[in-house]
Amino acid sequence: MGINLGDTFPNFVADTTEGTIKFHDWLGDSWGILCSHPADYTPVCTTELGCMAKLVPEFQKRKVKMIALSVDSVQDHHGWSQDINAFIEQPPVQKLPFPIIADEKRELAVQLGMIDPAERNKEGLPLTARAVFVIGPDKKLKLSILYPATTGRNFNEILRVIDSLQLTACKKVATPVNWKAGEECMVLPNIPAEEAAKLFPKGIRTEKLPSSKSYLRFTPQP
Ligand code: BEZ
């Protein structure tokens, strides 16, 4: 099982550190990010959740609600949250600034295609890979990235991708390689030149190419 870009994200019901949630109700009209973690009390996950906690203001700025998932119990999540807070030099309370889903039966891990076949706990049960799902206010999947358990994510890259997703959701541009917010964007290839000139009054720079085709069109970020 799994989920493809453009699919409606499942409206699952789950136990979390902030009580039982129904995903679509929890998301409301916001963007959302769901990050899965292989297991509680593991080193790479601890650094990742600490980083997520520190980046809450950046996600709030982008109106993105955050939620994490790991295959252990709510009780374990509370205990582990104390360690995560201590690691990032915060008061060691049993709470992070976003909920963590308890997926002990791996039901969501299977439904969302997040199992890492290479990683098992000491009972032989499979662990989750490091999945990143960004969900739009329309509840559809906008981005999915899957890392193995042994590679920690780069949350600066995830914020960069969210900037691109939110820009391209409302403006007819795409973002080029290594783009960062505020930099030049690319005019979508399916927009005819006349329409593009009206849409992008800041100007369009068309790169000359051996093929003489005019598809490499840059414009300041609208
Ligand atoms: C970790 O979070 O450190 C981790 C978890 C499972 C496998 C490998 C690393």
Ligand 1 pocket member 216 (CB < 6 A): no
Q: Is 69 helix (H, G, I), strand (E, B) or coil?
A: strand
Please give the structure tokens belonging to residue 217. Answer: 């069109």
* Contact predicate 188/173, CB 8 Å: yes
Could you count the other beta carbons within 10 Å of the beta carbon of residue 197?
13
6 contact partners, CB below 8 Å, separation of at least 6: 140, 141
| Single-letter residue type at 132 | V
Least trusted range by pLDDT, from 17-21, 120-124, 177-181: 120-124
- Annotated catalytic residue within 35, 40, 45, 116: 45
pLDDT, the chain, mean: 96
Ligand 1 pocket member 145 (CB < 6 A): no
Q: Which of 45, 46, 120, 147 to mutate to test the pocket of ligand 1 (most atoms within 8 A of CB)?
A: 45
Structural domain boundaries in the chain: 13-154, 171-219
Q: Residue 95's pLDDT is what?
A: 95
What is the C-alpha to C-alpha distance for residues 154 and 211, in angstroms, rounded to an integer?
Answer: 37
- For residue 45, report the distance from its CA to the centre of ligand 1, in Å: 7
Q: Which atom of ligand 1 is nearest to the CA of 39?
A: 5
Report pLDDT digits (tens) over 4-58.
Answer: 999 999 999 999 999 999 999 999 999 999 999 999 999 999 999 999 999 999 9
pLDDT at 126 over 90: no
* Contact predicate 169/134, CB 8 Å: no
What is the C-alpha to C-alpha distance for residues 63 and 57, in angstroms, rounded to an integer?
Answer: 10
**Which CATH architecture best describes the domain 13-154?**
3-Layer(aba) Sandwich (3.40)
Q: Tell me which residue has tokens 């997926």.
A: 103
- For residue 84, report the distance from its CA to the centre of ligand 1, in Å: 15
51-60 burial: b if 16+ Cβ within 10 Å, else e: bbbebeeebe
Q: Tell me which residue has tokens 């600066």.
A: 156
Could you count the other beta carbons within 10 Å of the beta carbon of residue 144?
19
Ligand 1 pocket member 44 (CB < 6 A): yes
- Determine the average pLDDT of the residues in 89-96: 94
Nearest to 14 by CA among 6, 25, 4, 22: 22
pLDDT at 1 over 80: no
Ligand 1 pocket member 42 (CB < 6 A): yes
Whose Cα sits closest to atom 7 in ligand 1?
149
138 catalytic per annotation: yes
- For residue 86, report the distance from its CA to the centre of ligand 1, in Å: 19
Nearest to 161 by CA among 181, 147, 141: 181
- For residue 81, report the distance from its CA to the centre of ligand 1, in Å: 16
185 catalytic per annotation: no
Task: Give the class (CATH, top level) of 171-219.
Answer: alpha beta
Q: Tell me which residue has tokens 């979390």.
A: 16
What is the C-alpha to C-alpha distance for residues 215 and 222, in angstroms, rounded to an integer?
Answer: 18
Ligand 1 pocket member 38 (CB < 6 A): yes
Q: Is 156 helix (H, G, I), strand (E, B) or coil?
A: helix
Q: Residue 81's pLDDT is what?
A: 98
Report pLDDT digits (tens) over 64-90.
Answer: 999 999 999 999 999 999 999 999 999
Question: In terms of C-beta density within 10 A (0-12 exposed, 13-18 middle, 19 or more buried), how is residue 20 classed?
Answer: exposed
Q: Which atom of ligand 1 is nearest to the CA of 46?
A: 2
